[in-house]
Amino acid sequence: MRKFFQEIKADLKFKTAGPGQKLSEPARVPKEKPKAEAAPKPRQAPTDEAQMAAAAALARMELKTKAKLPPSQEAIRNQVRKELMAERAASEKGLLVEEKNSTSSDTQGAAAPSVSGIYFICPLTGAVVRKDQKKEHLREAIRSYYSVDPVAASIMEIHTFNKDRDKVRVGVETMAKYLDNIYLHPEEEKYRKIKLQNKVFQERISCLEGTHHFFQAVGFETRTLPVPGQGKKSQSLNWKTTEEYYVLKEDMLTRLEDLKDYKEQLLSSEPVRAQLDRQLCVFKPSPTASRFELPDDFYNLTAEEIKREQRLRTEAVEKASMLRTRAMREKEEQREMRKYNYTLVRVRFPDGYILQGTFYARESVSALYSFVREALKDDWLPFELLGPGGLKLTDENVAFNECGLVPSALLTLAWDAAIMEDIQAAGEEQPASLLKPELLARVQTLS
């Protein structure tokens, strides 16, 4: 035990233009003293030439005045200028008001979301993408994988993007039968040709996304072949004389074992599923741990979920007039919980630190126990989780929505009492926290 605490102690020791100058004024030139003026001469009347020059000047001034813009155009131009200036002022004022409102809303302490949304990890690229971008990202990742392994990429496309699992199963089994016939009877030419307009092919295979990519990837090519038994008479009657086929390339007959492997891959593959990102966070002790602000991703329903909700509501209306027992009411409450797809769970440790993660609402509580163990420095330490009211979560196989832990929940972690007594009896100094040091190094403050 002493050695154990020494290791804990060892693990816990980590590190934490010059001023402007005025322009000199120009030197003043001293004024010259006025000379003594001569005695004024008596004023004479203007001559005839001067009077004619004055009349011409007045005429020019009148013409210049008439050449100015009319008052109406001047008014219009001034009005436009005023409106532009008013719009600019209003725009600047609006920006100031918007900034002021934004600042005031921040200062009022508007609650930030507890988590920014639902995110997934792409298994092919490792990228973390938002829920609404998941499907398109998977599609692009699979398309990119065609350059690496076209057969595997086409199989992923078939299993991932066709939602009707029964149709996928029937289509895949039919495709596997085609390959199996070629593998077992390579000498039979009829098995190496697949008629594209065949009813079975159209109903079971052609309707599925990715199937044509698969046939091309495993060695089939498209050919137009004559219809057997159709002659000149059929041509005169406008009957089809040719049809489209998938025909296996000749070189694939030397690679029959590859066809067998392709068939096994086709039958054994599963859909490519993006993994839910837990968005693990560790928070300092906070009295607001029980307050959750969830984004819309936790509540939005898909088309399938809306249909299911409508069906459940119809059933509820039908049962409204029935005498309901306690068991029936509890069952209906559980149904209400099932409408959530995700849940945000916080686990408060005895030292006050808070561990947060995102889970599927239909996941079992065992996923939460694993999540907590992975965050512990010593994952062998036994613990138990207590729900609201101190209720112990003893059954790890129950789902979050079945025990009311949706769309959010705050749980309490309690160490095994016997183990803690042994630790205290050992007399060793207990560590400040049993969370991994790398998690404590990026601890956050809960807003």
Instruction: Give the CATH number for residue 162.
Output: 1.20.58.2190
| Cα–Cα nearest to 434, from 417, 409, 418, 414 | 414
Question: Do 253 and 359 reside in the same domain of the chain?
Answer: no
Dihedral sign computed on CA atoms, order 293, 396, 351, 433: negative
The residue ranges of DSSP E strands in 84-175, in sequence order, are 119-121, 128-130
Question: Do 266 and 361 reside in the same domain of the chain?
Answer: no
Give me the percent of the chain exceeding a pLDDT of 70. Answer: 63
Quote the CA–CA distance of 387 and 369 in Å, as a whole number: 13
Q: According to the model, what pLDDT value does residue 396 have?
A: 93
Domain-located, residue 135: yes
The residue behind tokens 């149709």 is 167
Domain-located, residue 144: yes
- For the chain, what's the residue count? 447
The residue ranges of DSSP E strands in 96-142, in sequence order, are 119-121, 128-130
Question: Do 125 and 271 reside in the same domain of the chain?
Answer: yes
Quote the CA–CA distance of 235 and 23 in Å, as a whole number: 103
Quote the CA–CA distance of 303 and 301 in Å, as a whole number: 7
Domain-located, residue 249: yes
Q: Domain containing 409 — which CATH number?
A: 3.10.20.90
Query: What is the pLDDT averaged over residues 187-202?
Result: 94
Q: According to the model, what pLDDT value does residue 48 have?
A: 57
Q: Which of 228-242, 253-267, 382-396, 421-435 has the highest mean pLDDT?
A: 253-267
Q: According to the model, what pLDDT value does residue 433 have?
A: 84
The residue behind tokens 């996941």 is 363
Question: Do 345 and 250 reside in the same domain of the chain?
Answer: no
pLDDT tens per residue across span 402-446: 888 999 999 999 988 787 777 777 776 666 788 999 999 999 999
Query: What is the pLDDT averaged over residues 187-205?
Result: 95
> Domain range holding 431?
337-445
Q: How confident is the model at residue 230 (pLDDT cuts 50, 70, 90)?
A: low
For residue 430, CA distances in Å to 172, 408, 434, 438, 441 come to 59, 32, 9, 19, 19
Domain-located, residue 388: yes
The residue behind tokens 């009657």 is 237
Quote the CA–CA distance of 401 and 363 in Å, as a whole number: 8
Question: Do 169 and 250 reside in the same domain of the chain?
Answer: yes
Global confidence as pTM:
0.65
Which pair of structure tokens corresponds to residue 192?
């190496």
Question: Do 125 and 270 reside in the same domain of the chain?
Answer: yes
Indicate the average pLDDT of the chain: 77
Q: According to the model, what pLDDT value does residue 298 have?
A: 84
Domain-located, residue 204: yes
Domain-located, residue 190: yes
pLDDT tens per residue across span 270-327: 999 999 999 999 999 999 999 999 888 887 666 666 666 667 666 666 666 555 565 6
Query: What is the pLDDT averaged over residues 68-83?
Result: 43
Alpha-carbon 398 to chain mean position: 29
Domain-located, residue 353: yes
Q: How many domains does the chain have?
A: 2
Q: Which of 104-113, 195-204, 422-431 has the highest mean pLDDT?
A: 195-204
Domain-located, residue 138: yes
Q: According to the model, what pLDDT value does residue 404 have?
A: 87
Q: How confident is the model at residue 37 (pLDDT cuts 50, 70, 90)?
A: very low
